[in-house]
Structure 1
Amino acid sequence: MNTPPEDLNATLNAPPPEALPRNEHSRGRRVASWQEHHGWSAAASLRRLASRPLGSLLTITVMGLALALPLAFYLLLGNVQKLGEALGQSQAISVFMQPGQGAQQAQLLAQQLADRPQVASVIVKTPQQGMDELAKMQGFSGALQTLDSNPLPYVLQLQPREGLSATEVEQLAADVRTMHSVDLVQDSGSWRQRLDALLGVGNRAVLVLASLLALAALLVVGNTVRVDIASRSEEIGVLLLVGASSAFVRRPYLYAGIWYGLFSGILAALLAVLIEFALADPVAQLSRAYDGKLQVGGLPLWLLLAVPVAAAALGWLGARLVSAWQLRKAA
């Protein structure tokens, strides 16, 4: 592919600070010339992207979709964790006393449990309260009327202190099982451990997925820059012949990588926000079903702002690696 003459002339007319003898300019002049060339490179690379809108749009879209996927999974995992908390990730431990134990023994046991540092509160439920709860459940009211006496024992609802791990809560339940007058202890510790394990696997999967998709975005930028450099091999050869340094030649391509990454990062952040809006209505209905206890959150603002910056750095890295390799071949 031949290089258009106007592109070659524009490149040759660009300020080449590295090609000028240092003894002809003061330090301030060199810095000004270096800054001028950076500005020219940024503008020229942006114009070059705009000159082929379809190809640039396709590249940016592919990268944006790749970067939006880990954001969507991160949003999903965060809300699954909140859902687990709303469904009872810190459920109270139910302590059933032995049959025949009265109110005095129940209050004594409740006081012993409340004195433990791992316990936040203890609620005593009488057999009559348990019977009333069963009567409200569908299918139990008729069966309860046939009972001559109340067979339910006293039940203590033990709420663990906030911040306890699943292992500590499990150990607390095991200690309560050994206490006098305790018949049965129901604990959701195994359920909490399963949820924590699933969330751990999910977080690791999101990290691996984000790494793979970031690598894919880097390769997309690298391949685009490689094709661009290959199509301008004659122009690059002329620049090298007249004394331009490799840093001078590759600078526009580095800015091209930055533009690709920046625009794709903005697109990924916008897609993540659109996903949040798309899920807003069904999530609100789900929250109402749990009496507002389910508080679903979106992606933090700092993450949405960090994505374009990280994507721009990723685009620069891909362009840097490929341009250095291509220029070594050209030299």
Structure 2
Amino acid sequence: MPRAAASSDRRQTFFSRLLEEHARVFFFSLGKLWQNPAGTLLTALVIGITLALPAGLHALINNVDKLSYSWEGAAQSSLFLKDSVSAERGKDLARELNARPGVARTTYISRDQALAEFRKLSGFGEALDILDNNPLPAVITVTPMHKQSRDEINALVTDLSNLPEVDMAKLDQKWLERLYGIIDLLQRGVMVIAVLLSLAVIVTVANTIRLDIQARREEIIVMKLIGAPNSFIRRPFLYTGLWYGFTGSVVALIFVGVGMAALTGPVQNLAGLYESNFSLSGLSFFAVLQVFGAGIVLGWLGAFLTVSRHLSKIEPH
């Protein structure tokens, strides 16, 4: 029992010392950066601009996606009824479909109404007068409920097209599908840009840490002479890279916030012209955490790579 207690005390002492050492280096590295505010700010600005570009593009694409999502209500399905379907049956069918799950509303357009609308919009009124019969079918327009996926809307249209009274069903959302394709392409492009700019952040931090290592070369040699391990020497530089990534993330979020604020007014004015209440939204809480996580990880990684490379080249003679 005494041996177990002694072993437990040693483990607690080890972890407490390790925690104290990390806390000391944590604040020591922050103090080093505070002593050189100009250089720290310049590095943070470079990292912030690099991180702000993909973050800002991500926010804009999310707003476009949200806008297209609100346009899904404009995606209507037109059910062209067979000529044998009477007007009474067409109205009853419209009411039946209106009570169907996934359907927001339906509108029945008779053959006479369809002809009158076509006559008004086409400008071929005199030419239509020579026709013996009305060639236009009755139509039921079906508006799907909001917040449905594209697959659910397509499944609904497929079911409606199989009704015995329906001759043909057409979904009027080809333009929306094209918009979705453009959004998917832009999202892939942002991912590629984010990867390339992540490499730029790593290179920026690595170069800054390399200069710091060269400036503290004599100090590192002295620490190695008195027996300091590489892990002890490496630790302050790793925390420095972490701080660079953190401050760069703060700068990036400031840039994104300022950019979104600058676009809010013009976007609201444009939305007002189309009688829409759409407004820009900034980065979500999860996206903000992603920016901080990316900055910290990339800063630490850049410091780790350059310290591991250059520290082994500095040896006392």
CA contact (8 A) 1:110 1:122 kept: yes
Could you tell me how far 1:322 is from its partner in structure 2? 1.7
1:211 corresponds to which of 195, 203, 210: 195
Match of 1:283 in 2: 267
Match of 1:38 in 2: 22
2:221 corresponds to which of 228, 233, 237: 237
Gaps of 5+ in 1: 1-24
What amino acid is aligned across from residue 309 of structure 2 in structure 1?
Answer: W
Match of 2:34 in 1: 50
* Alpha carbons of structure 1 residues 311 and 285: separation in structure 2 relative to 1, 3 Å: same
Range with bigger deviation, 268-277 or 107-116:
107-116
Residues 1:94 and 2:78 aligned together: yes
* Alpha carbons of structure 1 residues 272 and 249: separation in structure 2 relative to 1, 3 Å: same
Distance in 2 of aligned mates of 1:254 and 1:180:
71
TM-score (norm 2): 0.79
TM-score (norm 1): 0.76
Could you tell me how far 1:225 is from its partner in structure 2? 0.8
Match of 2:4 in 1: none
Distance in 1 of aligned mates of 2:30 and 2:175:
54
* Alpha carbons of structure 1 residues 330 and 89: separation in structure 2 relative to 1, 3 Å: farther
Distance in 2 of aligned mates of 1:102 and 1:26:
91
* Alpha carbons of structure 1 residues 272 and 172: separation in structure 2 relative to 1, 3 Å: same
Distance in 1 of aligned mates of 2:42 and 2:272:
41
Residues 1:251 and 2:235 aligned together: yes
* Alpha carbons of structure 1 residues 324 and 156: separation in structure 2 relative to 1, 3 Å: same
Residues 1:319 and 2:317 aligned together: no
Match of 1:227 in 2: 211
CA contact (8 A) 1:86 1:293 kept: no
1:75 corresponds to which of 59, 66, 75: 59
Distance in 1 of aligned mates of 2:95 and 2:212:
77
CA contact (8 A) 2:264 2:280 kept: no
CA contact (8 A) 1:96 1:156 kept: yes
- Give the match's secondary structure for 1:156: strand
CA contact (8 A) 1:97 1:155 kept: yes
Distance in 2 of aligned mates of 1:310 and 1:41:
22
- Give the match's secondary structure for 1:294: coil
Identical aligned pairs, as a percentage? 35
* Alpha carbons of structure 1 residues 322 and 179: separation in structure 2 relative to 1, 3 Å: same
Residues 1:157 and 2:141 aligned together: yes
What amino acid is aligned across from residue 39 of structure 2 in structure 1?
Answer: G
1:193 corresponds to which of 177, 195, 198: 177
Match of 2:5 in 1: none
CA contact (8 A) 2:78 2:171 kept: yes
Could you tell me how far 1:27 is from its partner in structure 2? 6.0
Match of 2:258 in 1: 274
CA contact (8 A) 1:86 1:294 kept: no
Residue pairs, 1:100-119, within 5 angstroms: 102-110=86-94, 113=97, 119=103
Gaps of 5+ in 2: 1-8
Match of 2:106 in 1: 122
What amino acid is aligned across from residue 224 of structure 1 in structure 2?
Answer: T
CA contact (8 A) 2:55 2:291 kept: no
Match of 1:7 in 2: none
* Residues matched between the structures, number: 304
Residues 1:330 and 2:310 aligned together: no
Distance in 2 of aligned mates of 1:40 and 1:175:
67
Range with bigger deviation, 257-266 or 291-300:
291-300
Distance in 2 of aligned mates of 1:85 and 1:77:
12
Range with bigger deviation, 67-76 or 51-60:
51-60
Distance in 1 of aligned mates of 2:113 and 2:68:
28
Match of 1:60 in 2: 44
CA contact (8 A) 1:98 1:182 kept: yes
